[in-house]
Amino acid sequence: MSGASIRVRVQAEPFDLGAEANAFAAGIAQAGAVVTFTGLVRDNGGQLQAMEIEHYPGMTERAITAMVAEAKARFALEDALVIHRFGRLAAQEPIMMVATAARHRGDAFAAAEFLMDYLKSRAPFWKKEISASGADWVAAREADEAALERWQG
């Protein structure tokens, strides 16, 4: 794989964080910094039986690809990778990961945060928590919306 590409994967299958991070870092010639972030299914108080993630096929890939392109326009990135799962997941399973590569760490950290803030509120995913007491759609948090403001204007 060459550098300066956009890699976006939306999948039901699990992914191997270590293998993905190693393959990502190995594919970049010019980078001095690689940042990865991984989101796991959080089990609040041990009650969670499963998390179901719904998405909007087509728009999801399109929205994330646009976010990565925007991150590349804002930060000096060599490469970026986004993997996001959908379907039924168990507690502690990885939901998604972001990896960014840059010549210096500042751009890699900032781009990873930028991508995470946008993925939270602008990628068409919806989470539902299944527990013994029933199923509840996860509500969007105001803090997530507020996090976008620092990148705007």
Partner 1 sequence: MRVTVLYFAWLRERIGAPREEVDTSAATVADLVAELAAGSEGHALAFADLTSLRVALDQELADFAAPLAGVREVAFFPPMTGG
- Nearest Cα residue to 92 out of 35, 44, 55: 44
Count the residues in the chain: 153
Near partner 1 by CB under 8 A: residue from 19, 26, 132, 139: 139
Q: Is 56 in the site for partner 1 (CB under 8 A)?
A: yes
Q: Which positions from 16 through 45 interact with partner 1, judged by CB under 8 A?
A: 39
Contacting range for partner 1; rule: CB under 8 A; set: 25-33, 69-77, 104-112, 139-147:
139-147
- Closer residue to partner 1 in complex, CB, 77/95: 95
Q: Is 132 in the site for partner 1 (CB under 8 A)?
A: no
> Where on the chain is the footprint of partner 1 (CB under 8 A)?
39, 54, 56, 58-59, 62-63, 84, 95-96, 116, 119-128, 137-140, 144-145
